């Protein structure tokens, strides 16, 4: 029998995280209350976090690493503790944190972000040993930050339309191109850049794309702009410009011409994380709406007594129940089955991101005008949930994957 309840070791981790949040995060939320309430003080005129905010975020990241949280899902081969936490534990921890704290944590920095783009991403398994010795301590400590440079202005889901090229020059490669929609790039020290290294292989869609670790040097590899989105005036997302960036061949990650093999490392567990955050955020929003409905009165009674409101609560509960069990069953399959459940991973990415948006939207409606204000934080969650439906594979791309898996005979739902 599958048991989706939190085991004791997960409860202990969550209790430790709660203590860390109280000691390290809550004081920062008070210190930067003005910045967190008004983005005009959070970002500078170019859309970057202010210098003070950047320093505070790095300090939290390093303290989280020192406490063992930042790397707790990283692979042991990279210096993490991922052997102690499988996909089910990852899902339960992220769900619980988001359910409790919602959108209120200091710029979301507490989440152990070393899973994919920021720190000990599995992509780094492809680093050469000498480079691992240099890079891994920097990344594991939170001293340095990574970003994942795959998307381009004309190459998102269609990665074969990539334009960035790397040309061999002795024992170096010279890289030119533009990467766009890159999380962390405005604040990163290194970028994992995907570039064409064999035009013929790319033309036949048989490879020809390689991955390079490229340092931001302020000249040949720079973050050229921040991309504000969904009403914000700044963000963590940016555009990388590469102008004759020279990197030694030892900085190739994985095999030459096989960059997609590297890109796929970490994507699956990253989708578990996103799904868990959506499930947790939905529960957080529902709790807010339920509390509000027990206090707000219309027509002489609290709105919890109105059947129209009750129907909305029921819809939210059904959505959350379906999404949570879909997520945890998929995570269980990832741990207990030999083959990766690709169909189910696409299902949880598509369903939970859409579910989270539906639930938060209903909760905003239940809260009426108050739901539209910044006071309840629901509008921030609403924007966040809307954004999750695009990165790491759009809902449409996930449906395409599901359909292709079905047509190839993957018709099991056990």
Q: Specify whether 274 is located in the same domain as 372.
A: yes
* CA pair distance 374, 380, nearest whole angstrom: 7
Q: Is residue 196 located within the same domain as residue 321?
A: no
What tens digit of pLDDT does each residue of 120-141 get? Answer: 888 888 899 999 999 999 998 9
DSSP-derived secondary structure letter, 108: G
What's the domain range around 28?
8-113
Do residues 383 and 315 both lie within one domain? yes
CA distance 315 to 195: 45
Mean pLDDT of 172-195: 96
What are residue 403's DSSP bridge partners? Answer: none
- The verdict on 254 and 305 lying in the same domain is no
Residue 1 lies in a domain: no
pLDDT at 316: 98
Angstrom distance (rounded) from CA 124 to CA 83: 16
Distant-in-sequence, close-in-space partners of 62: CB < 8 Å, separation ≥ 6: 141, 142, 143
CA dist 191 and 150 (Å) reads: 10
- 152 and 232, same structural domain? yes
pLDDT tens digits, one per residue of 31-48: 999 998 899 999 999 999
> What integer pLDDT is reported at residue 107 of this predicted model?
67
Do 247 and 331 fall within a single domain?
A: no
Tokens read off for 334: 């990832």
Summary mean pLDDT of the chain: 91
Q: Do both 343 and 361 map to the same domain? A: yes
pLDDT for residue 106:
65
Domain boundary among the residues 258, 290, 308 is at 258
Asked whether the predicted pLDDT for residue 201 surpasses 80, the reply is yes
Token readout for 287 is 């709790």
pLDDT tens figures, 79-132: 887 777 889 999 999 999 899 988 667 666 555 444 445 678 888 888 999 999
Q: How far apart are CA 311 and CA 365, in angstroms?
A: 12
Is residue 118 one of the residues assigned to a domain? no
CATH number at residue 290: 1.20.140.10
Q: Is the pLDDT of residue 55 over 80?
A: yes
DSSP assignment string, 201-258: HHHTTS--EEEEEEE--SSSEEEEEE---TT-S--SEEEEEEEEEEEEGGGEESSTTB
Q: 168 pLDDT band (50/70/90 cuts)?
A: very high
Q: What is the mean pLDDT of residues 291-317?
A: 97
Q: Evaluate whether residue 2 is within a structural domain.
A: no
Regarding whether 303 and 403 lie in a shared domain, the answer is yes
Kindly report the CATH number assigned to the domain that includes residue 148: 2.40.110.10
Shared domain for 272 and 403, answered yes or no, is yes
Residue 194, φ and ψ in degrees, nearest 5:
-100, 125
**Does residue 124 form part of some domain?**
no
Average pLDDT over residues 201-205: 92
Rounded to whole angstroms, what are the CA distances from 322 to 14, 140, 273, 328, 354?
24, 36, 17, 10, 12
Confidence of residue 305 (pLDDT cuts 50, 70, 90): very high
Q: What is the pLDDT of residues 369-402, one digit of tens each?
A: 999 998 898 999 999 999 999 988 899 999 999 9
Q: Which pLDDT score is estimated for 108?
A: 64
211, 230: one domain: yes
- Least confident segment among 2-11, 51-60, 92-101, 202-211: 2-11
The answer to whether residue 64 scores a pLDDT higher than 60 is yes
Domain end call among 86, 113, 140: 113
Contacts of 258 (CB under 8 A, 6+ apart): 207, 209, 210
CA distance 16 to 13: 5
In-domain check, residue 78: yes
Give the per-residue pLDDT at 269.
84
Q: Positive or negative, the Cα torsion across 87, 318, 350, 97?
A: negative
Domain-located, residue 216: yes
For residues 304 and 140, which has the higher predicted lDDT (pLDDT)? Answer: 304
Structure confidence at residue 6 (pLDDT) = 82
Taking 50 as the threshold, does the pLDDT of residue 78 lie above it? Answer: yes
Which pLDDT value is given to residue 369? 95
Q: In Å, what is the CA distance from 102 to each residue of 97, 110, 281, 292, 300?
A: 8, 12, 6, 16, 32
Tens digits of residue pLDDT in 243-260: 999 999 999 999 999 887
Inside any domain, residue 121: no
Higher pLDDT, 210 or 124: 210
Are 364 and 379 in contact by the 8 Å Cβ rule? The answer is yes
Which one of 224, 258, 292 terminates a domain?
A: 258
pLDDT (tens digit per residue) in 266-301 = 678 889 999 999 999 999 999 999 999 999 999 999
Predicted confidence band of residue 69 (pLDDT cuts 50, 70, 90): confident
One domain, residues 251 and 272: no
Are residues 109 and 152 part of one domain?
no
Mean pLDDT of all residues in 42-59 = 95
Q: State the pLDDT at residue 116.
A: 45
Q: How far apart are CA 215 and CA 245, in angstroms?
A: 9
Amino acid 208: pLDDT:
95
> What is the tally of structural domains in the chain?
3
Tell whether 375 is covered by a domain.
yes
123 or 331: which leads in pLDDT: 331
Return the pLDDT at 113: 40
Position 266 scores a pLDDT of: 66
């Amino acid at each position: 029998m599958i048991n989706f309840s939190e085991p004791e070791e997960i409860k202990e981790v969550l209790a430790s995280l709660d203590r860390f949040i109280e000691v390290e995060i809550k004081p920062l939320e008070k210190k930067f209350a003005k910045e967190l309430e008004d983005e005009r003080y959070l970002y500078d005129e170019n859309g970057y976090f202010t210098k003070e905010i950047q320093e505070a975020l790095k300090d939290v990241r390093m303290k989280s690493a020192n406490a063992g949280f930042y790397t707790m899902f990283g692979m042991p081969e990279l210096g993490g503790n991922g052997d102690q936490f499988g996909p089910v534990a990852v899902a339960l921890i992220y769900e619980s944190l988001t359910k409790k704290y919602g959108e209120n944590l200091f710029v979301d920095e507490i989440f152990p972000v070393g899973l994919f783009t920021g720190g000990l991403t599995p992509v780094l398994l492809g680093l050469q040993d000498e480079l691992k010795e240099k890079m891994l301590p920097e990344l594991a400590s939170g001293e340095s930050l990574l970003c994942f440079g795959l998307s381009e202005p004309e190459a998102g889901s269609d990665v074969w339309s990539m334009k960035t090229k790397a040309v061999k020059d002795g024992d170096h490669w010279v890289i030119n191109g533009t990467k766009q929609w890159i999380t962390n790039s405005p604040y990163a020290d290194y970028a994992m850049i995907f570039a064409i290294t064999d035009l013929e292989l790319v033309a036949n869609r048989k490879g020809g794309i390689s991955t390079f670790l490229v340092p931001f040097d302020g000249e040949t590899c720079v973050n050229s702009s921040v991309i504000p989105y969904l009403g914000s005036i700044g963000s963590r997302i940016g555009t990388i410009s590469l102008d004759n960036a020279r990197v030694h061949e030892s900085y190739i990650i994985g095999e030459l011409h096989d960059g997609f093999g590297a890109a796929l490392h970490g994507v699956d567990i990253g989708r578990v994380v996103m799904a868990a955050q959506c499930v947790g955020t939905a529960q957080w929003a529902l709790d807010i709406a339920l509390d509000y409905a027990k206090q707000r009165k219309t027509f002489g009674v609290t709105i919890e007594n109105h059947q129209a409101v009750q129907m909305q609560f029921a819809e939210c509960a059904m959505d959350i129940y379906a999404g949570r069990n879909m997520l945890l069953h998929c995570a269980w399959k990832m741990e207990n089955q030999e083959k990766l459940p690709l169909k189910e991973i696409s299902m949880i990415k598509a369903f939970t991101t859409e579910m989270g948006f539906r639930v938060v939207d209903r909760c905003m409606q239940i809260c009426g005008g108050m739901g539209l204000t910044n006071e309840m934080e629901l509008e921030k969650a609403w924007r966040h949930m809307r954004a999750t439906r695009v990165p790491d594979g759009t809902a449409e791309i996930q449906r395409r994957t599901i359909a292709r898996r079905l047509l190839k005979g993957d018709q099991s739902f056990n």
